[in-house]
């Protein structure tokens, strides 16, 4: 949560800062962001595998969070685009390094009976940070008469607090280093992940194709007449619905079959798509955005719990890394398809396609084999 507050305080303002203060083109901003996020997705695979090989997940998580914190002072100090590009790139490398080991560490440190609850809590705090950051940035910009550097300096504080919390309060259980595979990314290791894991990955990829970028929610709100000044409230509303539903959904998945909870989330996505496609006006947008946030709450943490359940404990880092990479590529493809459909048939084409893909994912969930939960 702390690192997300810091990152989102900066990322909410960085594109505007780059264009209006440094004179960067919008195309350059898009390329920088695309390369940065792609880098994070690729690094996750190798960091997850390395955490399995070393048996030291906290070490890699601390390295990733530390890199993220060390880049934060560069943003207010940078006077040229080159420095900002370097800081953004290193920040995303840090995110890639910490992502899979952190998710695996949650599973290592949590009793299997409470795993869904644990991922629900993690997801809730993650989303709280994601919308507190922009809100703090807005408030500080108002208080400082739009002084970007002041906001960037304040964002340094929660970043270093995040590293302090990890180093001081997080204890890595002994079981995390009990078994160390020699080659986590080898063909044999991939096969040993098991059919249950690969079923979850395939289901997650198909589902991600249905869950395109939230930028399309903002575009849909614009079509309904929402002023650009209020556009960020769309993501704030979605994040509130996401954060309020993630913990209850995770706890529910500990009591009943996780796939059932995941299927409920897919149903919420179908409902959100149909509402956004056919219900007119801002009331339709508000209902659709809330349903979209609830579907995220019912699926994202539960998918993480399913990965942790289905993968062998000694390969959890690798399992999360591979899943994050494939899901990231699917999200990129989904957003491209959604944009093409919007250009060809308008917003209805985009959201109807999302509903159909969500239906396919729901059908896949129905045939997903029962998974044996592993300690």
> What's the pLDDT score for residue 373?
44
Q: Which residue has the higher pLDDT, 229 or 112?
A: 112
pLDDT of residue 155: 93
Cα 304 to chain centroid distance, Å, stands at: 11
DSSP letter string, 90-140: HHHHHHHHHHHHHHHHHHHHS-GGGHHHHHHHHHHHHHHHHHHHHHHHHHH
Clarify whether residues 198 and 116 are in a common domain.
Answer: no
pLDDT of residue 194: 80
Residue 223 in tokens:
């079509």
Distance CA 372, CA 318 (A): 19
In this structure, what token pair is assigned to residue 51?
Answer: 């955490």
Q: How many residues does the chain have?
A: 375
**pLDDT tens for each residue of 306-316:** 998 888 888 88
- Residue 210 and residue 143 in one domain: no
Alpha-carbon gap, residue 87 to 7, rounded angstroms? 12
- How many whole angstroms separate alpha carbon 17 and alpha carbon 13? 6
Question: Average pLDDT of 173-194?
Answer: 67
| Helices vs. strands in the chain: H and E counts, helices first | 15, 0
Looking at the structure, do residues 143 and 191 belong to the same domain, yes or no?
no
Residue 40 falls inside a structural domain: yes
Q: Is the pLDDT assigned to residue 269 strictly greater than 90?
A: yes
Residue 58 lies in a domain: yes
Of the residues 169, 198, 230, which one is the last residue of a structural domain? Answer: 169
Beta strands, E only, the chain: none
pLDDT at 182: 58
Are both 358 and 228 inside the same structural domain?
Answer: yes
CATH number assigned to the domain comprising residue 238:
1.20.1250.20
How many domains would you assign to the chain? 2
Query: How many percent of the chain have pLDDT more than 90?
Result: 27
Taking residues 254-263, report their average pLDDT. 89
In the block, tokens 């590009």 appear at 85
Alpha-carbon distance of 375 to 372, in angstroms, equals 10
Task: For residues 220 and 168, give the distance between their C-alpha atoms in angstroms, rounded to a whole number.
Answer: 44
CA distance 222 to 115: 39
| Tens-place pLDDT, residues 76-107 | 888 777 888 888 888 888 988 898 888 888 88
Q: What is the pLDDT of residues 226-235, one digit of tens each?
A: 876 576 678 7
Domain that holds residue 330: 187-367
Do 149 and 191 share a domain, yes or no? no
> Helix 281-310 and helix 215-223: axis angle, to 10°?
170
Q: What is the pLDDT of residues 41-70, one digit of tens each?
A: 778 878 888 888 887 889 999 999 999 999
| Per-residue model confidence (pLDDT) at position 141 | 83
Q: Are residues 145 and 191 in the same domain?
A: no
Q: Is the pLDDT of residue 257 over 80?
A: yes
* d(C-alpha 111, C-alpha 375), whole Å: 7
Cβ count near 308 (within 10 Å): 26
Examine residue 179 and state whether it is found in any structural domain, yes or no.
no
Asked which of 169, 202, 234 is the last residue of a domain, the reply is 169
- Chain-wide mean pLDDT for the chain? 84
- Do 204 and 301 lie in one domain? The reply is yes
Name the nearest CA neighbour of 291 among 279, 306, 307: 279
pLDDT band at 3 (very low <50, low <70, confident <90, very high): very high
Q: 135 and 220 share a domain?
A: no
Q: Which two tokens stand for residue 103?
A: 């998710």
Are residues 281 and 252 part of one domain? Answer: yes
Question: Residue 290 carries which DSSP code?
Answer: H
Confidence of residue 30 (pLDDT cuts 50, 70, 90): low
Q: Are residues 241 and 160 in the same domain?
A: no
Asked if 263 and 357 sit in the same domain, the reply is yes
pLDDT at 270: 95
Q: What is the pLDDT of residue 165?
A: 94
Task: Name every residue whose Cβ is closer than 8 Å to that of residue 342 and which is 6 or more positions away in sequence.
Answer: 216, 219, 349, 350
Give the model's pLDDT for residue 375.
Answer: 46
pLDDT of residue 179: 57
User: Which of 104, 136, 169 represents a domain boundary (last residue)?
Assistant: 169
Give, in order, the Cα–Cα distances in Å from 372 to each of 42, 288, 323. Answer: 29, 35, 19
Most confident of 49-53, 105-109, 216-220, 298-302: 298-302
Q: Given a cut of 60, is residue 177 above it in pLDDT?
A: no
pLDDT given at position 246: 92
Q: So what's the pLDDT on residue 183?
A: 60
pTM: 0.78
* Predicted local confidence at residue 176, as pLDDT: 46
Per-residue pLDDT tens digits for 342-373:
888 888 998 999 999 999 988 888 776 554 44
Which percentage of the chain shows pLDDT scores above 70? Answer: 88
pLDDT at 11: 75
């Amino acid at each position: 949560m702390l690192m997300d507050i810091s990152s989102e305080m900066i990322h909410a303002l960085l594109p505007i800062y780059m264009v209006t203060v440094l004179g960067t083109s919008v195309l350059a901003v898009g390329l920088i962001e695309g390369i940065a996020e792609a880098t994070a997705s690729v690094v996750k695979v190798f960091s997850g595998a390395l955490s399995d090989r070393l048996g030291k997940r906290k070490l890699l998580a601390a390295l990733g969070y530390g890199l993220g914190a060390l880049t934060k002072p560069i943003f207010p100090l940078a006077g040229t685009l080159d420095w900002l590009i370097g800081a953004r790139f290193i920040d995303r490398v840090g995110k890639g390094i910490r992502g899979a080991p952190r998710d695996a560490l949650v599973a290592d440190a949590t009793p299997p009976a409470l795993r869904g609850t644990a991922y629900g809590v993690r997801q809730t705090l993650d989303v709280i940070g994601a919308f507190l950051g922009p809100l703090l940035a807005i408030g500080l910009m108002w208080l400082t008469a739009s002084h970007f550097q002041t906001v960037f300096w304040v964002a340094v504080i929660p970043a270093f607090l995040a590293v302090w919390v990890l180093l001081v309060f997080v204890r890595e259980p002994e079981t995390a280093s009990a078994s160390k595979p020699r080659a986590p990314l080898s063909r044999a290791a991939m096969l040993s992940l098991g059919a249950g894991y690969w079923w979850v990955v395939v289901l997650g990829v198909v589902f991600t194709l249905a869950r395109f970028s939230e930028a399309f929610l903002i575009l849909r709100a614009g079509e309904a007449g929402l002023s650009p000044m209020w556009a960020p409230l769309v993501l704030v509303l979605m994040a509130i619905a996401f954060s309020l539903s993630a913990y209850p959904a995770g706890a529910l998945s500990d009591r009943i079959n996780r796939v059932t909870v995941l299927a409920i989330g897919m149903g919420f996505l179908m409902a959100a798509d149909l509402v956004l496609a056919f219900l007119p006006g801002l009331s339709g947008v508000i209902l659709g955005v809330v349903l979209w946030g609830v579907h995220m709450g019912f699926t994202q943490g539960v998918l993480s719990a399913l990965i942790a359940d289905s993968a062998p404990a000694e390969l959890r880092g690798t399992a999360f890394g591979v899943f994050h990479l494939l899901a990231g590529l699917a999200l990129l493809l989904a957003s491209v398809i959604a944009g093409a459909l919007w250009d060809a048939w308008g917003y209805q084409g985009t959201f109807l396609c999302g509903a159909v893909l969500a239906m396919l994912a729901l059908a896949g969930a129905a045939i997903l084999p029962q998974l044996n939960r592993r300690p």
